[in-house]
Each structure stands twice: as C-alpha cells, then as structure tokens.
Amino acid sequence: MQMIDYRLITKKGEGTFSEVIKAQSVKTTQLVAIKCMKQIFQTIDQVLYFNSNIEIQALRKLQNHEHIIKLIEVLYDEPTGRLALVFELMEQNLYEHIKGRKIPLKQEKIRSYTYQLLKAIDFMHTNNIFHRDIKPENILLLGDHLKLADLGSCKGIYSKHPYTEYISTRWYRSPECLMTDGYYDSKMDIWGAGCVLFEITALFPLFPGSNELDQVHRIHNILGTPNPKVLDRFRKHATHMEINFPQKVGTGLENLIPNAPKDLVDLIKQMLIYDPEERITAKQALRHPYFKEIRDQEQQRLLETSLQSIKLLKKNDDSLMDEEQNTTQIIHKKTLFNQTNKVLQNSFKNKNLHLLDCVKLPTLTKKQADLKKAYGPAHFQTTKKKSIQYEYILYGKKANLGNFLNTLRHK
C-alpha cells in the first residue's frame, strides 16, 4: 500500500526523528497511527541500514503480544524518499493520562498498568531484546489496556559493548547508563519502569535532572550513594564523568509517597537498586507480592477457561458416542459364514440387524456346541490349544469379537 491509501486526519505528536499522524484507511476505514520518519532516503538500501529497520525487525519478532504495539505495515514512497510505519491506533500515552491530575490514580489501575508494562518488558527480554527508552510517553493506553511502543532505540541483549551513551530520556536513565561509556544492559529497562511506577503513583517525576551530573546528584539525594565497589566498577568504563562522590544517605522514597502501600514501595526499591546485578528482573518483579491479587485473578480465569474446555470436550465426546450408537446396527453384508456359523448368522437376523459387507468370523470347532458361550466377551475357547483372544478394530479401538452386537471391522 501507499500513503495515498490513507486519509490523514491530524498530527498526534512529534519527536526528534519522526512525527505521528492519525489517519484512516481508505479501503477498510480502520483508524491507524502513522509514524513518518523525517529523514529522506534516496534508495531502499538506505532504509535497510537505518535505525528504523531495527525497530521493524524487533516489532516483527515481538508481534502478537498483547502488550506490545502492533505494526500493521511499512510504507516507502520511492519518489519522495519518505518512510512510514503504520501502527494500530491507541487513545493516549501514559504521560497524557496523568498530566494535570490532582487526584491520584486508584491503586487497582496503578497495579494493572505496572503489571502490563512488566509483562511487555519480560517478553522483550525473553526474546533477547531490550527497549532502552522506557518512559510514560512510550507507554500507550486504549481504555485500561496498555501497550509498550516506540522500539526505535531497542538493542539485542547479546550485542557487543559499548552502546550509545545518551540513548534513553535522561529522567529515566539508569546510573550505569549515566556514568559509564555505554556499558549497560537490559536492567536499564527495569530502572526506567521503576521511575514510571513512582511517577504514576506520585503524579510527578522522581529524578527530573537538568543534565547528567544533576541527574546523578538527584538519585543520590533520594537513594543515597551506592556501595564503593559499584562505583569502582563504573569507574573502569567511565571517561566522560569523574566518579568521585562523597558518601550520602538518601531521604528515601517513603517520604515522597507516604500513602502508597508498603509492597508497592518495596517493589520500587527493588527496581531502583543502584547495582544492576542486584536489581530485580522483570520476571521476578511479576512474582512480587504487590501483584498477588492480579496473579490470583489470572489463575481463576485460567481455571474457568480450562473447565469450559473440558465441558466442550465432554459435549463433543457425548455427541460422538451418540453417533456411534446410531451406527452400531450396521454390519457389512456378504459376510462369509461357514456351516457351523449358521446359528450366529440367525442370531444377527433375529436382532433385526442389517448385514452389509466384509467381516470374516473365525471358524469354530465341531466340539463347540454352545455358540453363545463360544462367542462370549472374554475368549474364544478351543479344545486342544490354549485360549486365544481374537482382536478386532471397533471405531479405532481394540474390541473382542465376542461383543457381536457392535459393528465389527477386521483388524
């Protein structure tokens, strides 16, 4: 498709490298968000090596997750050199949702938003990708459903260091990203998510630094300075900043959000541990006591879904059994009987069964006088040899020939 296949409605936002436009598909009338890149591409090869291609590859790998934004298609207009990504349309971002609020969000919403965000981050990390720019503006809402967006800065977890230093938005940048020359990893996403959790609880940013050094000082003022061993490790990979901070005890998070539940404060603290090696992972955070209520609800829904599936399977089985019972009166005609099987043939006729084709019954010895017992449910008895059990296939299952009231097909 081309840009002419969409009717542009209004601009929704603009960043350094792109602008987002609300549009509508001419063919399907679906409302979408089109991310138009500002850079002009002379050839398609330039597109392939541009950062947006990293975003496209990551989105394709992460598609169909309920908390990752859905990429609908990629548009490249060769005459103008413009590149655009077409996404599903969401209502607003998390920053817009809390901007100007005077009344705090309900705890249920805070818990739900954070849980959904962590599920998105965990899915990315499980697929060996980390976002690198977790902030409220990149977290989108449709009603109360949350999706993580703007993967233009994402990186492979196992890619080679050093990374770009100034990649994430400063206020949500982790200490290892601030102080080293690009020696950080996926744990920076957890730090950013911790800052977001604080912000939607307090309705103001936790570390609104004016520059990198001010950002570090703001972190120290609240969390205190870290263990000297951590600073020593950072110092090995730092040339742009002198890491020589006097020891300081922070004021703590509790004073900033005095009405927050204790388990919420504990979760933020674990997400904002200075040492990335000690910082909680997304998977561990999802198992934190703060989310127990949501996990219990998920298990209840899973149980209800399982019970519904079992009932559906049972209903299908019952229908199949009814169908089998309706066809048990059908036996193949042209059945090959020998002289000693006449009584058995008559017993079928006496039951008003319709004989169709192709079942051959085993020959009975002359000494087997009682045919009903000879064709009993357990064994076919012989006079000279050991007991033999003849097996037949009954609707795909093994069955004794003795149960002759059922339809028989030779194995």
pLDDT tens digit sequence for 352-391:
444 343 444 445 454 444 544 444 444 434 444 444 443 3
CB 132, CB 168: distance < 8 Å: yes
We report the CATH number of the domain holding residue 37 as 3.30.200.20
Give the active site residue among 122, 133, 150, 189. Answer: 133
Do residues 102 and 203 share a domain?
Answer: yes
- Among 6-10, 145-149, 213-217, 243-247, whose mean pLDDT is lowest? 243-247
pLDDT at 327 exceeding the cut of 60: no
Residue 196's CATH number: 1.10.510.10
Q: 3-state class of 243 per DSSP?
A: coil
Higher pLDDT, residue 260 or 44: 260
Give the residue-averaged pLDDT of 339-362.
44
Q: How many structural domains compose the chain?
A: 4
According to the model, what pLDDT value does residue 181 have? 78
Span 336-360, average pLDDT: 44
Please, which pLDDT band fits residue 234 given cuts at 50, 70 and 90?
confident
Q: How far apart are CA 169 and CA 250, in angstroms?
A: 23
Does residue 263 carry a pLDDT above 50? yes
Question: Is residue 7 included in any domain, yes or no?
Answer: yes
Phi, psi of 193 (to 5 degrees): -65, -35
Q: For residue range 212-223, list pLDDT tens digits in order.
A: 899 999 999 999
* pLDDT for the residue numbered 149: 96
Q: What share of the chain is helix, strand, coil (3-state, %, to 5)?
A: 40, 20, 45
Give the pLDDT score at 104.
Answer: 96
Say yes or no: 83 and 142 in one domain.
no
More confident residue, 290 or 78: 290
CB contact set of 272 (below 8 Å; sequence gap of 6+): 191, 194, 195, 223, 253, 279
pLDDT higher at 26 or 307: 26
Last residue of a domain, one of 268, 287, 306: 287
Q: How far apart are CA 348 and CA 331, in angstroms?
A: 9
**Domain boundary pick from 47, 70, 88:** 88
Establish whether 133 is a catalytic residue.
yes
Question: 314 and 340 share a domain?
Answer: no
Instruction: Compute the average pLDDT of residues 169-183.
Output: 88
Backbone dihedral angles phi then psi of residue 96, each to the nearest 5 degrees: -65, -30
Whether residues 280 and 301 fall in one domain: no
Average pLDDT over residues 253-276: 97
Check whether residue 130 and residue 239 sit in a common domain: yes
Q: Are residues 322 and 358 in the same domain?
A: no
Report whether 394 contacts 406 (CB < 8 A). yes
Kindly tell me if the per-residue pLDDT of 186 is higher than 70.
yes
Q: What is the pLDDT of residue 242?
A: 77
* Average predicted confidence (pLDDT) for the chain: 80
Cβ–Cβ under 8 Å, residues 357 and 365: no
pLDDT of residue 355: 38
Task: Tell me the pTM.
Answer: 0.73
The more confident residue out of 348 and 262 is 262
Which of 45 and 102 is assigned the larger pLDDT? 102
Whether 407 is covered by a domain: the verdict is no
Same domain, residue pair 273 and 237: yes
User: Which domain, by its residues, includes 312?
Assistant: 295-327
- 172 and 307, same domain (yes or no): no
Residue 317, φ and ψ in degrees, nearest 5 = -65, -40
User: Cβ-count burial of 294 within 10 angstroms (0-12 exposed, 13-18 middle, 19+ buried)?
Assistant: middle
Q: Tell me what the mean pLDDT of segment 286-292 comes to.
A: 97
Q: Please tell me which residue, 353 or 64, carries the higher pLDDT value.
A: 64
Q: Is the pLDDT of residue 208 over 70?
A: yes
pLDDT tens string 84-107:
999 999 999 999 999 999 999 999
Domain boundary among 68, 88, 108: 88
Residue 311 lies in a domain: yes
Q: What angle do CA 105, 107, 110 make, to 5 degrees?
A: 70
Which of 30-44, 343-357, 394-408 shows the highest mean pLDDT?
30-44
Tell me, yes or no, whether 202 lies in a domain: yes
Q: Which residue has the higher pLDDT, 408 or 32?
A: 32
Under a CB-based contact definition with an 8 Å cutoff, are residues 33 and 22 in contact? Answer: yes
Tell me, yes or no, whether 142 and 259 share the same domain.
yes
Residue 145 inside a domain? The answer is yes
From 171-180, 241-250, 374-383, the region with the lowest mean pLDDT: 374-383
Report if residue 120 sits inside a domain: yes
Give the pairing type, strands 71-77 and 397-400: unpaired
318 confidence band (pLDDT: 50, 70, 90)? low
* Same domain, residue pair 162 and 213: yes
Measured CA to CA in angstroms, residue 32 lies from 5, 71, 152, 329 at distances of 12, 10, 19, 60
Q: How confident is the model at residue 162 (pLDDT cuts 50, 70, 90)?
A: low
Q: Among 3-17, 294-308, 360-374, name the one with the lowest average pLDDT.
A: 360-374
Residue 232 and residue 99 share a domain: yes
Copy the structure tokens of residue 189.
């996403």
Q: Residues of the chain with pLDDT > 90: what percent?
A: 50
Task: Evaluate whether residue 410 is within a structural domain.
Answer: no
Q: Is the per-residue pLDDT at 53 higher than 60?
A: yes
Cα 289 from Cα 244, distance rounded (Å): 37
- pLDDT over 70 percentage in the chain: 73
Distance CA 400, CA 380 (A): 9
Cα-Cα-Cα-Cα dihedral of 199, 201, 204, 209, to 10°?
Answer: -40
Q: Is residue 411 part of a domain?
A: no
The pLDDT of residue 168: 64
Would you state the pLDDT for residue 180? 86
Q: Pick the more confident residue, 169 or 195.
A: 195
Same domain? For 182 and 248 the reply is: yes
